[in-house]
Amino acid sequence: MAHTIRDIATALGAEAAGNLDLTVSCAAEPHSAGPEALALALDPKYAGGLAKGQARAAMLWPGADWQELGLEAAIFAPRGRLAMAGLSRMLDAGPAIAPGVHAMSVIDPTAEIGAGAAIGPFVTIGAGVRIGPNARIAGHVSIAEGATIGADALILQGARIGARVTIGDRFICQPGAVIGADGFSFVTPERSGVEEIRSTLGQRDEIREQTWTRIHSLGAVTIGDDVEIGANACIDRGTIRDTAIGSGTKLDNLVHIGHNVQVGRDCLLCGQVGIAGSSRIGDRVVLAGQCGVNDNIFVGDDVIAGGATKIFTNAPAGRVLLGYPAVKMETQIEINKALRRLPRLAAAVAELQKVVAKS
């Protein structure tokens, strides 16, 4: 996977200087870069590491004096992380999945596999499945009956895709993800304690035995184009309508999307986010790690929620949220400041009590 500095700069639309025919085969942090690596020193604070490594070329911030840094060539990246996205795409060889269908996979004769597919060992593909061209499916993946997957899919080891799931083009699925498991939906013959608490917010007239009756999931999951699903993420099928994930949305590892949830386009849901059943998430929403969203609420377009935020009520578009329960971020910061002052306040009140008691 060797590339010249010229080729990399051209692919990234970036400026370059020095020996543009110099080749690199990998990327590295400045202090550990060998002579074959492109060192990533995208900020002046990383420049010192170049002297500790052996890199001959580096990706630098605009205006950097590459010759003073002892380099033979440099690429200048106005937006470093965006340049890293393009560079990483060039240098990533991807998983080693041999073209064609491995002899130890089981594919139903009614399944349709697009041209250019690469399917690894121990894959099972059910009846009526349709998979688009150039799919890459690693070992131990299962795709249940009636599922449809678009072109250029990459589905990694041990992923499970349930019946009738529909997925768009350029789908990426990390190991162990489960798409299309049944939703967690149960009901009691009589009014349950949970229903009573929802209406009374704490008061219970009577505690009695109750048993749970399963509500089966008749819907499926619909996923748009350019969606990525992280390792061990779970997306439950809908009860009647499909659970839906909009195009361009990215789910991190261990994200859980409950039944009937509708997630918009270009959302970013970070690790351990949980969205309860029948909630709606707008477009371009960012939920940081361990955020939770209550059931049957709406989170508006362009909402950003900080880590561990718990959203219990509808959130208007564009709101920046933090805390448990979620409030405006600036409000939560003031709450945190006030909490830190509580010990001093308690000490002051105690001292005042002593003075009053003596008077």
* Catalytic residue selected from 3, 140, 256, 259: 259
User: Alpha-carbon torsion 144, 148, 150, 151, what sign?
Assistant: positive
Rounded Cα gap, residues 116 and 58, in angstroms: 36
Tokens 């377009």, located at residue: 301
258 torsion bin: left (phi>0), alpha (psi -120 to 50), beta (else): beta
β-bridge pairing 166-167 and 148-149: parallel
| 321 Cα distance to chain centroid | 19
**Rg of the chain, C-alpha, whole Å:** 27
- The kind and range of the H/E element at 358 are helix 329-358
What residue spans of 49-207 are helical by DSSP H? 80-91, 193-200
Closest CA to 287 of 262, 266, 270: 270
Strand order in the sheet with 228-229: 100-101, 118-119, 136-137, 154-155, 172-173, 228-229, 250-251, 268-269, 286-287, 304-305, 320-322, 327-328
Residue 288: count other Cβ atoms within 10 Å of its Cβ: 20
Rounded Cα gap, residues 139 and 125, in angstroms: 12
Q: Is 102 a known active-site residue?
A: no
249 three-state secondary structure: coil
Rounded Cα gap, residues 255 and 339, in angstroms: 31
Q: At what angle do helices 80-91 and 5-12 cross, to 10 degrees?
A: 120
Residue type, 125: I
* Catalytically active residues, by annotation: 259
